[in-house]
Amino acid sequence: MKKSLIVLSIIALAASSLFASGEKETALQEGLTFSNWSGSEESSKEIFKWMIDSFNENQPSENHVVQINWPWGDTESQLALRAQGKEQYDIAQIDIRMLPALAGAGVLADLSDIFGESFFSDNFAPGSISVGNYNGVQYGVPWTVAPMGMIVNPQILKDSGVDFDIVTIADFEKAMEMVKNNHPANNDSDAGNDILPFAAMTKDGGTCAPDFIVWLWTFGASVFDENGNCVLDSDEAIETINWFKSLSDRGYIQGAMGRGDARTLYKEGRVAFYNDALLAKGAITNETFGSIETYAKPQVNPVLNEGDTPKASGWGHLLVIIDRSPKKAEAKAFIEHLISEDVALKYFDEIGMLPSKKSVLNSNEVKNDYWSNSWTPILDGGRLAETAGQNYSAYNSIIVENLQAVLSGSKTSEKAAADMVSRIENL
């Protein structure tokens, strides 16, 4: 009996510790949280630390910013989960393609109420403002906004005898053919230094589908029509798929190519063309090749017919405030700090992230920079991928699986297109 009582008491103590907690509701924590992915990446963690420290120096401790990092791919789900979990979150860095899902889920605050309407029109170009707007509500402050472009290696083109501008699809195909057949590295016995004409994305849905959608637009096709019906089986869409398959058949592109793989190969001087955002500068810089102008030239995507408007995938980062944040005024101050001239120019200087604020964009430092100048012609015309939204990952997976089936020969373009439509409509 005595032994039973002792054991019972120990178990009761242990069990009670499981249920012991502080106050019923989560206490308001000191400071603000700034969640992001860039602050953990090797190329940008130092500048992020500086941006936060420089803000905190001039703030009382209760308004100090603390950063929380997670990988880019987890941002959307983490923000949504934590918003549901009632943790205090204040400011976040998000990718523009995450905006529809997060705004639709009610996670984000209306920034017009916090910053005032005129703040946006006074400080940003209409194109930049629009990427932070969803269904007429301004949720995001544009931090860096620039469409994806085509990065071209002028040295490889020169060594292959390409001496014309790449304007149309026909020019693009001709240039790829010349790289494939004429470049000296492709004519020796060592397959380990072969030059890939075009490192097109073919590996995963997150990169392949948005890039392929740009080619759909180039050929006059789209994923959805104005009524929201999937039209991936249109004649223009099938023509695009056939064209993409022909690039593979001719050896201009290859399978299992992700953005990271393309950047690595480009940095080694083994790719002539690939698509990327302006932040690629940090990933492809290779000082052994000399100045970046000699091996990396951003340009617009080729068009189907001369005179067409080049198409591009929208890309960028937004700063958002979480709707449940009890410190919206303080969050506003931090965002204003991040986009201020000194901070934005240092961010630009360190890793090439183009500022969005008009006054900073017009500064001499930005205008005189080769990389940002090369990107200026690309700045207009970026569109968010049509698959952005709640079903982003599912739509992209459907597109990339069927594209891979066409490239491997498992399906014809017509069958793949029909399957894409069927699966998207049945989601």
Partner 1 sequence: MKTISKNSTLMAWFLVLPALLIFALMILYPFANSIFTSFTNKNLIFPKNDFVGFENYIKLFKDPNTLPLLFTTIKFVFFSTICPFTLGLIWAILMNEKFKASEFMRGLTLVNWIIPGIAIGFLWNWIYNGDYGILNALLNKMGIIDSNIIWLAGKQTSMVAVVTARTWQMFPWYMAFIMGGLQGVPNELCEASRIDGANNIQVFTHIIIPTIKPVLILILILGTISNLQHFDLINVMTDGGPERATSTFAIEVYKKAFKEYNLGRAAALGVIWAILLGSFSFIYLRNLKEDN
Residues that bind partner 1 (CB under 8 A): 1, 3-4, 7-8, 11, 14-15, 76-77, 80-81, 84, 101-102, 104-106, 189-192, 194, 196, 202-204, 254-256, 261, 264-265, 268, 270, 390-391, 393-394, 397, 400-401, 404-405, 408, 410, 423, 426
Closest distance between partner 1 and the C-beta of residue 95, in Å? 14
Whichever of 252 and 375 has its CB closer to partner 1, that residue is 252
Amino acid residing at 322: I
Closest distance between partner 1 and the C-beta of residue 45, in Å? 21
| Sequence-ordered list of residues with C-beta below 8 angstroms from that of 122, at least 6 positions apart, any chain | none
Whichever of 301 and 397 has its CB closer to partner 1, that residue is 397
Whichever of 80 and 167 has its CB closer to partner 1, that residue is 80
Whichever of 98 and 354 has its CB closer to partner 1, that residue is 98
Whichever of 36 and 248 has its CB closer to partner 1, that residue is 248
Closest distance between partner 1 and the C-beta of residue 84, in Å? 6
Residue from 382, 391, 354, 359 nearest 369 by CA: 354
Closest distance between partner 1 and the C-beta of residue 367, in Å? 37
Whichever of 159 and 194 has its CB closer to partner 1, that residue is 194
Which CA distances in Å does 385 have to 94, 210, 245, 353, 407? 16, 6, 21, 21, 22
3-state secondary structure of 32: strand
Distance CA 348, CA 83 (A): 31
Which CA distances in Å does 41 have to 62, 69, 81, 174? 27, 9, 23, 38
Closest distance between partner 1 and the C-beta of residue 203, in Å? 7
Whichever of 114 and 394 has its CB closer to partner 1, that residue is 394
Total Cβ atoms within 10 A of residue 114: 17
Whichever of 8 and 170 has its CB closer to partner 1, that residue is 8
| Torsion angle (degrees, nearest 10) of CA 224, 206, 382, 366 | 170
**Contact predicate 248/407, CB 8 Å:** yes
Closest distance between partner 1 and the C-beta of residue 401, in Å? 5
Closest distance between partner 1 and the C-beta of residue 226, in Å? 25
Distance CA 354, CA 375 (A): 9
DSSP 64: -
List, in sequence order, every beta strand (DSSP E) within 122-214. 133-134, 137-138, 140-145, 149-152, 196-198
Type and span of the H or E element at 67: strand 65-69
Amino acid residing at 98: M
Closest distance between partner 1 and the C-beta of residue 312, in Å? 25
